[in-house]
Amino acid sequence: MSKRLSITLLTAPAMIVLLGVFLIPMLLMLLLSFQDENQAFSLENYSLFVQDPFYLQILWRTIRVSLWTVLATLVLGYPVAMYMAQATGKMRGIVTMLILAPHLISVVIRNFGWVVVLGEKGWINEMLLALGIIEQPLRLLYNELGVVIGLTDSFIAYMVLALATSMYAIDPSLNKAAAILGASRVRTFFSVTLPLSLPGIVAGTTLVFSLSMSAFVTPALMGGTSVKVMPVIAYEQIMSTLNWPLGAALSFLLLASTIVLVTLYTKLVETKRYKEVFAS
């Protein structure tokens, strides 16, 4: 069998699926987003976005919720990654398992668990009421806080993975050297560990931001009808209003905003000095 024939035979089946379920459909969707109700070419679906403050507000809310999620996963995930980098053999395995395994279990089910915990008659409220700390149940669900909690739980594993990968690469003898030179643990953290984990921070924050921007299930389940984000609006346009061109345009606008923001952010962080240090 010739090399060319082998390559074709081996890659063709997967390529057919990619073409038929991914490339052609995406192209069609892009074309559709430029159509008005008479199927003529139009920028209407996109210009609506700039003109109507309603959509801009929703985009801003999507960005805001995503930024909070990035912050929460970073603050909570960083110590976990640090712990994993310090831990040895068995302990590291246990921590890895306990942080990654839930990530492989349905997001709908995890969100359900949080609804039980955070609801008005949920565990937290019942406990706080019983202890007399609050008199009225707190509103922890069906608002932006609820969405951020849900998203943080969904994506923290990605953050920890990105951070841990870059922390495993830090030579442990650097910490020892800092200690020998008389640096305190805090000083070592800010002068050695934190700067050297920067690639992990960049990778983790961009990943969690992109994932949060396009998350649908968690905002739908934990945000309720009052906290609609871009994916939820796009879904409604397609499945309820049946305005497919608008739904398609909204999805692409969301994707474009995500790409623009992520690009700006990485440009800002990856300065000349950064590239000199982490060039590989």
Report 74-93 residues binding another protein (CB under 8 A).
76-77, 79-80, 82-84, 86, 88-89, 92-93
Based on its alpha-carbon atoms, the radius of gyration of the chain, rounded to whole angstroms, reads: 23
- Taking CB under 8 A as the binding criterion, the range among 34-42, 61-69, 118-126, 174-182 that sits at the site for another protein is 118-126
Query: 10 Å Cβ neighbour count for 147?
Result: 28
Contact positions with another protein (CB under 8 A) in 233-262: 234-235, 238-239, 244, 247-248, 251-252, 254-255
Of the residues 34, 46, 49, 216, which one makes contact with another protein according to CB under 8 A: 216
Under rule CB under 8 A, residue 195 binds another protein: no
The beta strands (E) that lie in the chain are given as: none
Residue 85: C-alpha distances to residues 82, 101, 170 (Å): 5, 18, 9
> What is the total count of residues that contact another protein (CB under 8 A)?
91
C-beta of 42 vs 102, nearer to another protein: 102
How far apart CA 174 and CA 190 sit, in angstroms, is 13
How far apart CA 49 and CA 55 sit, in angstroms, is 6
Of the residues 122, 138, 175, 183, which one makes contact with another protein according to CB under 8 A: 122
Under rule CB under 8 A, residue 99 binds another protein: yes
Under rule CB under 8 A, residue 32 binds another protein: yes
Under rule CB under 8 A, residue 20 binds another protein: yes
Contact positions with another protein (CB under 8 A) in 123-162: 123, 126, 153, 156-157, 161
How far apart CA 142 and CA 219 sit, in angstroms, is 9
Query: Quick check: 132 and 204 in contact, CB under 8 A?
Result: no
Residue type, 85: A
